[in-house]
């Protein structure tokens, strides 16, 4: 094929030259990576919403002070050098030279301090750290200090945000936006810039390599190291129908599928032009999340009833197919992680419908339909919802199933209104296990009673007190004992139900290389031949 193209080009050049016409110098071919995201972002502010597609967007256009590598270790990213006082209370950070926003303005410590303040209001699992901050001081445009009220061992780790993306450094004027209102401008300082003029909601999002970005010199590893953009352009092609997306991949019309459904893998598993690869460091984790603010699930007996009725095999086989793709797991902090204990779950391993029905009655359930919201454009979420409808009806609940696109569900789940007034009682979600594998970073197991924790807002102060002790405990053995006690308590109060773990593959064409392992799909370091 290359020989034919060269011959055709040479023939054309001969004809043009003989006609006295001179050709302009050939322009280099631009490398375009076309990706089908799992869903289209409804919010583009990674501080406002931590859903996966928003985090993917945030990772492309923003940068962070520190980044997580592929082993979840923290490394400096926007920070060049930093030091800590002898009493571990004063941190001094100096930014790397050459940091620049996509609008051409330099990144300064004014932007950094404003971004951190906004992040610490919004990032629910960062509240312990936020409450330890005594203040910031801007020394100059490149240096600032952070003072703590008491030493904290995870300072650098959490400055990048609790998922590695929420700590996005924004322009000061954007970071001054109310934390409860999403930032509208999509301007960061990361390796790619968002192309507003080509944005087509429901069809296409476009990102171009930002020539003003200066990557670190270290090799890329997750969100750490040199974020080198090796393609000129990344296009997110919105294809809600998975079968259509798979067809487009086979035909070479797109290059990558982000977290595709498992049941269509057999259509490509023997295709030599397609790679089935893994991105997330740990298995993914599916859950059923309760709204603890409103009846019936404001009553612990109602939550326990559902937990005693559920069967992980039913959920996993319905949503993720062949048993080789998933496993049962009753660990709130992810089986296979250092914190993957399942202690306390013994009574919930086998369904007990009679016990579940008794607990429903004891909860005082009055017969009002429970509102189950679900993402119809993500097949696994829709199937998980259908299993839950059947389960709830078996134990005495009436159900109002309301399916919509996942972006709308992600927005609606933030509402604290009564379920009959636009709120909700239940929803399903899933996430890669990396963020959920520790009480330090998992938003799901925060049980503060201030209403600032993750959607569902479970309140259990004994659990939260143990989590505080765990995070502040320097001795590993004592910390592990606390973790065991916390896990037993979680199975007593049931803020949500773990439904099992599954291997989430990603698909890309065989001419794509350099895909990194990271807790959110990263597009730097990827080459296209």
Beta bridge partners of 400: 371
Answer yes or no: same fold for 45-51+63-172 and 284-502. no
- pLDDT-derived band of residue 163, with 50, 70 and 90 as boundaries? confident
Largest Cα span, the chain? 93
- CA distances from residue 332 to 51, 130, 381, 438 in whole angstroms, order as listed: 19, 24, 19, 9
Question: Would you give the end-to-end CA distance of the chain in angstroms?
Answer: 15
- pLDDT-derived band of residue 378, with 50, 70 and 90 as boundaries? confident
Q: Where are the domains of the chain?
A: 45-51+63-172, 284-502
pLDDT 10s digits, 322-374: 898 899 999 999 998 889 999 999 999 999 999 999 999 999 999 999 999 99
CA dist., res. 492 & res. 359, Å (int): 13
- Comparing 7-21, 122-136, 405-419, the range with the smallest average pLDDT is 7-21
**CA quadruple 305, 308, 313, 316: dihedral sign:** positive
What DSSP string runs through 317-372?
A: HHHH-SGGGEE----TT-TTSTT---TT-GGGSS--HHHHHHHHHHTT--SPPEEE
CA dist., res. 485 & res. 281, Å (int): 26
Fold annotation for 284-502: Dipeptide-binding Protein; domain 3 (3.10.105)
Q: What percent of the chain has pLDDT over 70?
A: 95
Fold annotation for 45-51+63-172: Dipeptide-binding Protein; domain 1 (3.90.76)
Is the pLDDT reported for residue 21 higher than 50? Answer: no
CA dist., res. 117 & res. 110, Å (int): 11
CA dist., res. 321 & res. 306, Å (int): 23
Residue 5, pLDDT score: 34
List all residues 6 or more positions away from 302 whose beta carbon is below 8 Å from its beta carbon.
295, 296, 359, 360, 363, 365
104: region left, alpha or beta (phi > 0 left; psi from -120 to 50 alpha): left
Residue 24, pLDDT score: 53
Residue 253, pLDDT score: 98
Mean confidence (pLDDT) of the chain: 92
**How much is the average pLDDT of 285-309?**
98
- Comparing 13-17, 78-82, 416-420, the range with the smallest average pLDDT is 13-17
Beta bridge partners of 507: 257, 276
Residue 106, pLDDT score: 98
Q: What percent of the chain has pLDDT over 90?
A: 79
- pLDDT-derived band of residue 400, with 50, 70 and 90 as boundaries? very high
Question: How many residues in the chain?
Answer: 529
Residue 124, pLDDT score: 76
Pair of tokens at residue 174: 């954007």
- Comparing 104-113, 308-317, 475-484, the range with the smallest average pLDDT is 475-484
CA dist., res. 204 & res. 231, Å (int): 17
**How much is the average pLDDT of 99-103?**
98
CA dist., res. 232 & res. 211, Å (int): 10
**CA quadruple 53, 222, 94, 60: dihedral sign:** negative
Q: Are 233 and 210 in contact (CB under 8 A)?
A: no
Residue 9, pLDDT score: 35
**How much is the average pLDDT of 111-134?**
92
pLDDT 10s digits, 176-217: 999 989 999 999 999 999 999 999 999 999 999 999 999 999
Residue 25, pLDDT score: 56
């Amino acid at each position: 094929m290359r020989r034919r193209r060269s011959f055709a080009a040479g023939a054309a050049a001969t004809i043009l030259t003989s006609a006295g016409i001179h050709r302009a110098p050939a322009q280099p071919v631009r490398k375009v990576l076309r990706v089908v995201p799992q869903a289209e972002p409804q919010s583009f502010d990674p501080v406002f919403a931590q859903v996966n597609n928003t985090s993917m967007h945030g990772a492309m256009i923003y940068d962070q002070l520190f980044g997580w590598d592929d082993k979840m270790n923290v490394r400096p990213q926007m920070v060049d050098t930093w030091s800590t006082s002898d009493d571990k209370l004063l941190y001094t950070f100096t930014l790397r030279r050459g940091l620049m926003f996509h609008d051409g303005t330099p990144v300064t410590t004014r932007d950094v301090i404003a971004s951190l303040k906004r992040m610490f209001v919004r990032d629910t699992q960062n509240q312990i750290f936020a409450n330890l901050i005594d203040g910031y001081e801007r020394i100059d445009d490149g240096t600032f200090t952070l003072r703590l009220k008491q030493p904290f061992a995870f300072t650098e780790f959490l400055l990048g945000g609790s998922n590695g993306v929420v700590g996005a450094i924004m322009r000061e004027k954007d970071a001054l936006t109310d934390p409860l209102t999403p930032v509208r401008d999509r301007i960061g300082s990361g390796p790619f810039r968002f192309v507003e003029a080509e944005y087509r909601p429901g069809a296409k999002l476009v990102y171009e390599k930002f020539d003003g970005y200066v990557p670190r010199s270290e090799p890329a590893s997750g969100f750490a190291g040199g974020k080198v953009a090796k393609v000129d352009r990344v296009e997110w092609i919105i294809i809600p129908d998975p079968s259509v997306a798979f067809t487009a991949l086979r035909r070479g019309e797109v290059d990558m599928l982000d977290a595709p459904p498992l049941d269509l893998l057999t259509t490509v598993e023997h295709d030599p032009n397609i790679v089935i690869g893994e991105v997330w460091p740990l298995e993914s984790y599916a859950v059923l999340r309760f709204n603890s603010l409103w009846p019936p699930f404001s009553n612990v007996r109602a939550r326990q009833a559902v937990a005693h009725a559920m069967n992980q095999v039913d959920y996993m086989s319905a949503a993720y197919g062949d048993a080789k793709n998933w496993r049962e797991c009753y660990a709130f902090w992810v089986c296979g992680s250092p914190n993957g204990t399942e202690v306390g779950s013994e009574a919930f391993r086998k369904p007990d419908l009679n016990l579940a029905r008794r607990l429903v009655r004891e909860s005082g359930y009055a017969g009002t339909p429970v509102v189950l919201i679900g993402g119809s454009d993500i097949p696994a979420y829709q199937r998980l919802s259908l299993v839950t409808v059947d389960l709830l009806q078996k134990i005495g609940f009436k159900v109002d199933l309301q399916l919509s696109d996942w972006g709308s569900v992600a927005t609606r789940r933030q509402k604290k209104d009564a379920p009959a007034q636009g709120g909700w009682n239940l929803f399903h979600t899933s996430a890669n296990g990396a963020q959920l594998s520790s009480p330090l970073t998992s938003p799901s197991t925060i049980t503060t009673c201030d209403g600032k924790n993750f959607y569902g807002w479970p309140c259990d102060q004994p659990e939260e007190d143990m989590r505080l002790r765990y995070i502040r405990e320097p001795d590993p053995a004592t910390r592990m004992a606390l973790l065991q006690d916390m896990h037993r308590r979680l199975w007593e109060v049931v803020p949500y139900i773990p439904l099992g773990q599954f291997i989430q593959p990603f698909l890309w064409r065989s001419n794509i290389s350099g895909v990194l392992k990271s807790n959110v799909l990263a597009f730097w370091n990827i080459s296209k031949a």
